Structure 1
Amino acid sequence: MAEITAALVKDLREKSGAGMMDCKKALQETGGDMEAASDWLRTKGLAKAAKKSDRAAAEGLVAGKVSDDGKTGALIELNAETDFVSKNDTFQAAAREIAGIALTTEGVDAIGAAKTAKGETVSDMVTNLIATIGENMRVRRSARLTVSQGAVALYLHNVQGDGVARMGVLVALEGAGDPAKLQDVGRKIAMHVAATAPLSLSPADLDPEVVAKEREIQTQTAMESGKPREIAEKMVEGRIRKWQEEVVLVKQPFVMNPDQTIEQLVAETAKEVGSPVAIKAFVRLALGEGVEKKADDFAAEVASMTGQA
C-alpha cells in the first residue's frame, strides 16, 4: 500500500475539492490509489451530505449576471464553510450557473427547484457539491432587478473569478436614454453603493423603526445639552436630516465626486441623455453578512496530518 503522505492528500484535495480528512480517509480506504480514492469520495459523499446541513456556512461566493439586453440583473449568494472552497473551479461554475438561472427565476425556493443545464435541480446540484467537496453549502440569498427601459448595472467587488466575488451590487436605472450611458453611470453608482452601504434608496424608504431609534438617540443627546425643549427639537430635526444624507443613497455625496450628490448625478445624466432618469432600485449582497461564523481550527488539522501537532 502506498504511503499516505500529506502531499498525496493535498493532491487529492486539489483535484476533488473534498475536505482534507475525507481525502485522507479515501486514500486509506483505497490503498493510496488516486483514481479509486476520487471514486470513493463520490460514492460515499452523498450519504454524508445530509449530516453536514447543520454546520455553519458563512464563506463562499456572491455571483452576478446581467441579461444580454442589459435590462435584468441577478445576484445570488452560494455559501460554503471555508474560503478554500470559493477558489474551487467546480464551485465557482455552480455559482455562475445559479446566477444565470436567477435571471429568470425569483426567490431561493424557486431557484432550488429550477433545472440546471444537466437537467438536475439546483438543490440536487448543491447536494452533489456537498458530497464531492465535503462541506455544507446552501443558496442563501438571491436578488433580481429589472427595468422596462433603461439598464441594470452590475458591480462585483473583491473578485474571485469570472462573475464571482465576495460582494455584488445591482443598480437599476429607469430611462429612455442611451443604454450604454445608463450602464456606465449605473455601474459607477453600484461602485458607490459597495463603498458606502446605504440603508435605503430615498428618505421615504427608510425603515420606520430605524428612523425612530435614530430620533430617540438624537433627542436624548440634545436634551442632555441643556437646551430648551423647542431648541432641542429643532436640533433633532437638523441632525436627522444630516443622518439621512449619510445613509440614504440619493442624498449621499458621490464617492467619485464628493461635490455632487447621487441625486445630482442622476439629474445630470438625465440632461446628457435627453430623457428622465431615475434609480428604480439597488441591491447590495456582501458575503456572509448576518451569518454566525464558527472558528474551525483547520491549521490544527493540517498539523495533525503532517506530524507537527
Structure 2
Amino acid sequence: MTKLIGQRAVASLLSLLVLMVLVFFLSRLTGDPAVLFLPIDATEEMKEQFRVLHGLDRPLLEQFNQYVLDLLQFDFGDSLRKARPALDLVLEAYAWTLPLALLTMTFVITAAIILGSLAAFKVGGFFDRLVSIVSLVGASAPDFWIAIVAIMVFSLSLGWLPTSGVGSVAHWILPMAVLFIRPFGLIVQVVRSSMLSAQSSAYVKTARAKGVKNLRLIFIHTLRNGMLPVITVIGDQAAAMLNGAVIVETIFGFPGVGKLMIDSILQRDFNVVLAAILVTAVAIFLMNILIDIAYGLLDPRIRQ
C-alpha cells in the first residue's frame, strides 16, 4: 500500500511539473499585459517601464527560472491586477469554491448510492426505469446549457431564485443544482451496475437464502463489496466538479476559483492564473491519493 501511494505521489509530482511548464509558456502567448493594464494612450516608454517593473522584459527562460525559484519558497508572485499576492487571492476564492463543491458532492454521493442501490434491487421495475432515464439525461446534459436554462426558468420567468451573487442561501441553490446533475447521473449508473454485479455473487445469494432482510442485504452485504468502481468514479467526478465550477461560477457570478481563473485569463494576470491552476492540480492529486487509500481499506488485496 505504501509503495502504491509512493508511486502515485511521484507520478503526480511529475505531472505537476509538466503542467507548470505548459501553463507558464502558453500563458505568455496570450499577449502583452502592458497593453491591457496601461491606458490606451500610454507611450512605449510607459509600457517598457511596466514590463521592467514586473520582470516581463527578460527572456522567457529567465522568467521561468525565476518563477521556479520563487515557487520553491512558496512565492507565487503578485497579481498584476490587484497588486496582492496571487496565492492569497486563490485561497480566498477557494474559501467559496470548496464549500460549494463539498456540499454538492455530499448530496450527489448520498442520493446516487441510495437511488442506484434501490434501482438495482428491482431491475426492470418502474423505479429502476425512472432512475435510469433521469441519470442518462443528467449525465448527457452540458453544465453551461443547464445553467442558462435554470436562470431563464427559475430566475427570469418564475422569479424564485437570484441570478448571481452569494448574499443568501437562495444564491447557492442554482449553482449547487447545476453542479449536482451531471455527477449524479454518472455515479448512479455506476452504483446500479456495481450492485447488479455484486448481487450475483455467492455471498449475497447465501445471505438471501438465510433470510437477511432486503435493506440489510442491499446496504450491508452488497454495497460494501460493490464500492470499488464507485469510489473511482466519485473521485473522477469530484475532480471534474472543480473543473466544472469554472463554467458554473462564471455564469452565476459566484466568487470562487473558477470565476477568478477566467477573469485572470481575460486580463492576462499570469501569476494568478498559474497559482489557481497549480493549487487546483495539487488538490486533485491529493484527492487521487485519498482514493488509493480508500481502495486499500475496502480491498485487502491492494494493501499487500
- RCO (CA 8 Å, sep 6+): is it higher in 1 or 2? 2
TM-score scaled to structure 2, two decimals? Answer: 0.23
More strand by percentage: 1
Instruction: Compare the two structures and name the one with the higher helix fraction.
Output: 2
TM-score normalised by length of structure 1? 0.23
